[in-house]
Structure 1
Amino acid sequence: MGHHGWRGNPPGTEDEARRRIVDAATACLDRAGLAKTSLSDVATEAGVTRQTIYRYFPRLADILSAVAIAGVEEFAGRMERHLTSFGSPAEVAVESVVFGVRAVPDEPYLSLLLQAGEGDFFTGAVTSREWLALGARILRNVPVDWASAGVTTEEDFAGLAEILMRLFLSFLRYPSEPALTDDELRKLVRRWIGPALVSSAS
């Protein structure tokens, strides 16, 4: 079942096994950094074989994504608090993109995915089901009149989150030349995203 080893204390569930691998990876990254962390290092830290690691995480990129998700709750809370200062769905959408572009590079675990250098590391994480669900949850928790913009169902929130996260990802991975200021980025996103979130009654 992939529970061989584990320093004599095998996990009781698949979820616990994954959590312990993520904890081991986090310890390796904190100690040695991304450049000096391999799947073998994570396996040694967890007390299992590489084959056991592969059972739960086929690639190092998958572990990095899991580490980032495990550490993202504080970031999500800060984003939610920031977005509550804006009063309309359009402004919340715009500011979510600006906040993400500016804040993610300074986040200790989220930035790991950027440091990995391979574009698919970060892209794969941000467009995964788990990350899109997180984006939808952040939007849903911001107390604006989403219904006035036609955003009412879980599918609506998920779709809006995916569009905004893909937009944020594009600006983050491929910044404009010359670089946009916050106000310039805000103006650009508002011009093209804002009309989709304005009440048809206004």
Structure 2
Amino acid sequence: MRSHGWSGNAPASDGEAIDRILDAAGAMIAEPGSTVRIADVARSLGVTRQTVYRYFPGTDALLISVAMRSADGFLDQLARHIQGLTDPLAAMVESMAFSVENLAGDERIRLLLSEPGRAGTTVSLTGETAIAFGRGMLRRFDVDWASHGFDDRDVDELAEFTLRLLHSYLVDRGPAPHDGAQLRRFLARWVGPALVRPHEASVVRG
């Protein structure tokens, strides 16, 4: 690990360096009217831009990492909340409802997803990094995906679909039901068919 800069207080490991970079970027996101740029993050830490680029190839990767780290504690809560749900429909409906109910009030995530003027750019929830994150989330469920007819590609597509739907709820709640039993009924009605009959899309000719 390079020790140049860091305002005279070099991190002891790469992990600590990454944490400091994410802390600095997160603090900037939380400031009204602020913009997150690699150069600004580097300046606040007393390092060169190349030092930040060593850990994050660009602003988008940095912002995604900030959002995902912010969600780490939430994912542990989610895993505990749906523990024991082995049916794909029950697990997905409850996980999505729980996510909407608990993440909608997270100002940092809302800014990252919907306000490029403050974060410099919006975060994509459908890029390779985000999909891998969603796939990992689904694999934490107590669902035997293979026994229910879902192969690896199905799980990847389900992760993308889930992230797209969650994104829409977090950015624009709209008139759709958004809490309690009403939200769960809404999700079960419209998400349910895709989970109960995942391969019926084959009848659609592309």
TM-score by structure 1 length? 0.72
Number of paired residues?
A: 193
- What code does the residue aligned with 1:101 have? V
Secondary structure at 1:92 match in 2: helix
Secondary structure at 1:121 match in 2: coil
Q: 1:167 is matched with which residue?
A: 165
The 1:145–1:64 alpha-carbon spacing in structure 2 relative to 1, beyond 3 Å, is closer
The 1:58–1:2 alpha-carbon spacing in structure 2 relative to 1, beyond 3 Å, is farther
Whether contact under 8 Å (1:68, 1:112) holds in the other structure is no
TM-score by structure 2 length? 0.71
Q: 1:6 is matched with which residue?
A: 6
Q: Give ranges in structure 1 of 5+ residues lacking alignment.
A: none
* Distance in 2, Cα, partners of 1:38 & 1:137: 27
Secondary structure at 1:137 match in 2: helix
- Pairwise CA RMSD of aligned residues? 3.5
Secondary structure at 1:97 match in 2: helix
- What code does the residue aligned with 2:24 have? A
41-50 vs 75-84, which moves further = 41-50
Q: 1:58 is matched with which residue?
A: 58
Percent sequence identity over aligned pairs: 38
Counterparts of 1:1-202 in structure 2 under 5 Å?
Answer: 4-8=4-8, 18-26=18-26, 28-29=27-28, 33-36=31-34, 38-39=36-37, 41-50=40-49, 52-53=51-52, 56-59=56-59, 61-84=60-83, 86-107=85-106, 109-114=108-113, 116-117=115-116, 121-122=122-123, 124=124, 126-151=125-150, 153-176=151-174, 178-182=175-179, 183-198=181-196
47-56 vs 127-136, which moves further = 47-56
Q: Give ranges in structure 2 of 5+ residues lacking alignment.
A: 199-206
Q: 2:204 is matched with which residue?
A: none
132-141 vs 100-109, which moves further = 100-109
The 1:62–1:99 alpha-carbon spacing in structure 2 relative to 1, beyond 3 Å, is same
